[in-house]
Amino acid sequence: MISDYLDIKEEVKDALDNNKPIVALESTIISHGMPYPENIISAKRSEAIIREAGGIPATIAIIKGRIKIGLTESDLDHMGKDSGITKASRRDMAMILSKGMDGATTVATTMLCADLAGIRVFATGGIGGVHRNGQTTMDVSADLQELAGTNVGVVCAGAKSILDIGLTLEYLETHGVPVIGYGTENFPAFYIRESGYKVDYRVDNPAEIAKALKVKWDLGLKGGMVIANPIPEEFEMDKEYISAVIDEAVESAEKEGVKGKGITPYVLARLHNKTGDKSLFANKELVYNNVRLAAQIAIEYAKQ
């Protein structure tokens, strides 16, 4: 039984039983995305934003071989302070649980676990995608395959600029994943508002997104939806500057043989170091922006 592996926090269980709005949050951003103590500060602020909007936060992680749907304050501290926590994607789940290990859930595994619990809206920073030269290396994030088959709407600031965004969008299109721009026709690239690529549809209010999610799943159209929410204009970084820093970080990763799930934390750490933490500040603000929108969508979805 799936319930044998899940520990659902009481307030989240109550919300599920009573159709209250819930927003799932990932834990990789805590354990691998931001340095301590900014990671814990950001995680707690994200949860507070959801509560202020009238929703229930459900931060997801694996602790001692148990999938935790909703974390306590001590759980959040543990995920943020312990440097030995594994970055857990779909392929890692069975081994991490069977060995009683800790795991920080990626976008893919947060979607998977949210779906197991019955949570339909998830806020993150940016989704993974097809890495540069992915057509030859086959380095494609498991996030994309999860979006193809798991019924969770993902609010994000697009895809990280370290990726091949064109190929990422082609992959999503092939697998029938709608890419919705919230208040924009342009697909964002994490730190910048426009990647140079278009979204499938522009939507200007959370209620319409919630309705589209319901219609999609009512029709039996499996898979998620990407809700691309650009970083607020006042926090956007200079495109040429951040692109140059990212290119340098990616080149360094290649030279050092960093591959797969190690690339993103490596590049983010280099960015934070090179930009004097300007990128860390932008990262936090775009996450908060996504969390606010996700809470509004969850509230509207609960009304469906």
% of the chain beyond a pLDDT of 90:
79
Residue 26 a catalytic site member: yes
Tokens of 267: 């590049």
Could you tell me if 300 and 227 are in contact, meaning their C-beta atoms sit under 8 angstroms apart?
A: no
Lowest model confidence (mean pLDDT) among 21-35, 124-138, 203-217: 124-138
Q: How far apart are the first and last CA of the chain?
A: 29
List the CATH number of the domain containing 60: 3.40.1790.10
Among the listed residues 68, 87, 160, 216, the single catalytic one is: 160
From 114, 138, 223, select the one nearest 173 (Cα to Cα). Answer: 223
Which residues make Cβ contacts (< 8 Å) with residue 38, sequence separation at least 6?
A: 280, 284
The three-state secondary structure class of 226 is strand
pLDDT at 261 over 70: no
Residue range 166-184: mean pLDDT, rounded: 98
The average confidence (pLDDT) of the chain is: 94
Among the listed residues 26, 38, 146, 236, the single catalytic one is: 26
* Structure confidence by residue, pLDDT tens digits, 65-86: 999 999 999 999 999 998 889 9
pLDDT at 136 over 70: no
Residue 160 a catalytic site member: yes
Q: Which structural domain range is residue 95 located in?
A: 2-302
% of the chain beyond a pLDDT of 70:
98
SS3 letters across 267-299: HHHHHHHHCCCHHHHHHHHHHHHHHHHHHHHHH
To which H or E segment does residue 90 belong?
A: none
Number of folded domains in the chain?
1
What pLDDT shows up at residue 134?
63
Lowest model confidence (mean pLDDT) among 66-70, 84-88, 119-123, 257-261: 257-261
From 237, 240, 232, 160, select the one nearest 192 (Cα to Cα). Answer: 237
pLDDT at 138 over 80: no
The three-state secondary structure class of 68 is strand
What amino acid is encoded at 271 in this protein? L
Give the whole-angstrom CA distance, residue 206 versus residue 34: 28
